[in-house]
Structure 1
Amino acid sequence: MTLFLKLVFRNRLAAMGAVVITAILLLALLTPILPLHDPDVTATADRFKRPFSDGHILGTDHLGRDLLSRLLHGTRLSLAVGIAAALIAAATGATIGIGAGYFGGRIDNVIMRVVDMLMAFPYILLALAIVAALGPGLMNALIAVAAVNVPFFARNIRGITVGLAGREFIDAARLAGMGHTKIILTELLPNVLPVIVIAMSTTVGWMILETAGLSFLGLGSQPPQADLGSMLGEARSAMISHPHTSVVPGIMIFLIVMSINLLGDGVRDALDPRLRSGALSRPRATTLVDRKGPLPAPTDDLLSIRDLETQFHVGARTYKAVGGVSLAVKPGECLGVIGESGSGKSVTALSVMGLVASPPGIITAGAVYFQGEDLIGAAYETLRQKRGDRVAYIFQDPLSTLHPLYRV
């Protein structure tokens, strides 16, 4: 958990979003015990009071109701509806997606064609149609928002499940006599769960916005109940003469959606295994060098690799990719390096010109002499002049790596 939070807060925007949404959530939780005015009590003699008026920090609306009280109660309601809609959509969509991806065949084909039909409709029009059929109300708005987002979750989770369903560990579970339900719950779901969490973290903000949109149109929260969308809807007639009545809920909607989206980006990156290795951090122009001890002496060879050691540092762990390789290439000579997959051939070749990504790669020992000049730790401009001109590296899979219009 500590590592997860550290990875999330590595993204400064995600950290800022976490602070903002945490403060908003605390306010929403403390709202019932705060000394606030009754959000539904009208006082027409106090209508449209300016912010910082006596007894009304944010002013009052067109019926004299305290805006601060309505804002906090409305935020509490909007957050509850948005989060509930996200949970319902994620649970329903994930169930459909896992079922379609696991069973495949005709079941998958029928489910996905229905999902395609639903995704063909603009989601806001589909939500309006559902609310029109069910009738206006906050609960019906919640159902509508959850329903229009189910296809999004179903398609995403189905794509992940299809790739997992054909893996060896699923075949092993079948051979062990596991039933479909047990395989789905114990083998597939744990592998799909991070994707569900990522999808929820990046969409819950939009669900809050969609719910607010329905309330703004009068199809969600009904008077006198307040949520952020209904507050905006009631204030639109006074937007010019008394702008504070619409600015207050508008700013709150902006802060909620923006902070959740920023935090969602951080959660998405933190759950990506590449971030744990540092691969999603901005790489250095050349491989990081941290050599200790005396350097091997140069030779007369065209290229001489002497006692090269390259490691990958992932948090507190160290992976030794190349552990003391030495080889030499004389002018006019061809040298073949043979080894099994993962033995360090590619990392050795990349280390020559400082192309191992840092983080997490570090060259910890040895030297690489090209025409008597040590390339390890050389300035970026020096390496840049030699890359492709004096020293070139052709990556694996030449069909996609080599340019079809240039000769080697």
Structure 2
Amino acid sequence: MTSFSQLGLAEPILKALTAKGYDTPTPIQAQAIPPVLAGRDLCGIAQTGTGKTAAFALPALDHFVRHPKPTPIQGCRMLVLSPTRELAAQIAASFREYSRFVRLSVETVFGGVPIGRQINKLRAGVDILVATPGRLLDLIDQRAVTLRDVEIFVLDEADQMLDLGFIHALKRIDKLLPRQRHTMFFSATMPKAIAELGDRFLTDPVKVSVTPAATTAERVDQFVTFVGKTEKQALLTLTLAETEIDRALVFTRTKHGADRVVKHLLAAGIGCAAIHGNKSQPQRTAALQAFRDGRIRILVATDIAARGIDVSGVSHVFNFELPNVAEQYVHRIGRTARAGATGVAISFVDEEERGYLRGIERLTRIRLEPMPLPEDFNRRKEALPKPTQAPATAQRRFKDSRAAPAAADRPKRPFRPNRSRHGVGAHKGAVTRTR
């Protein structure tokens, strides 16, 4: 398919796509939309950033346009399950954009906000409900919502659902859904446990994939620096001091680790914020918006929180700590090199993490390019300020629109490491792509 008009979507949906300037479907959309319009269940393997939200949203909206029904009281016609709050909010926003010329209601429910407000919103029913599993079951237990009227069910980011321990919640939700329904199932990877979960939810599905399972973005240059555990922070601080890094995500394994990284970066005068499960929803929303607006150029995140981050212009991903689940590496570096752009992923690996690195290289079938420490690393790290020197207002710095110019206003001089003796801190010379 070369255009959305060839897919046979209803006129109000095509009008909304035209208003957004969308004309050509992405590969996952071109493969998924026709069988879904034909009524088939779908199993899709696709990373975030491939356009998969539209792959399930557009045919669902087409169904509602062609089969109008009253909104069910305290129910919903479509249920979309998401593993994180940020991703749920992002999916709901996409539905509202695509349905701007259709009279449909869209609501989002997730934890971290008062449940009473959500109960009130659901009382009259909703056409499309986007939810995280835990909060959805809370609302079901309080008899605020029922799933008996669900016509279309979407399970998004299935592999992350399992990583977060939602398997029992998903099985319970499955029992509450009607047997006669249209189901779509999406995952970035398809290990055995995910395939078994798909078998539970899907009936004779069409299977589509835009990249082979467990492969990484082709346009991401991937590097690894072997460094002592206690030296990682100094290396990160010195590397991020490069003003040419446009916008970067830094991943840690733990919430406390993310906070420690932010303290050190703020002490060095590098504007940043953390996003993780211990942050309140307003804090997470504010940090993400500041990152999206360019008021901060560094966002430090845990894997759980990062699933909802869909920000254009991320030039670099830093794995401050390698994930202990190899598939998570695929998700992390998929945050860069979107919409045809290129990106750089750099992993800091200490002695204890070498086993994780071997697992990642086996899974991705790629050997990360070694990148030595900067030649003057030991001297430069001693000059770095300590976290106690951070100003008291540093945590609020990203709220100040003057803290950093928007990404679009900064000169484009992309930092790209090379394999020379200058190490990670070097930005001159050509980059050698991963083998």
Instruction: Specify if TM > 0.5.
Output: no
- Give the structure with the larger strand fraction: 2
CA radius of gyration, larger in: 1
- Give the structure with the larger helix fraction: 1
TM-score (normalised: structure 2): 0.22
TM-score (normalised: structure 1): 0.23
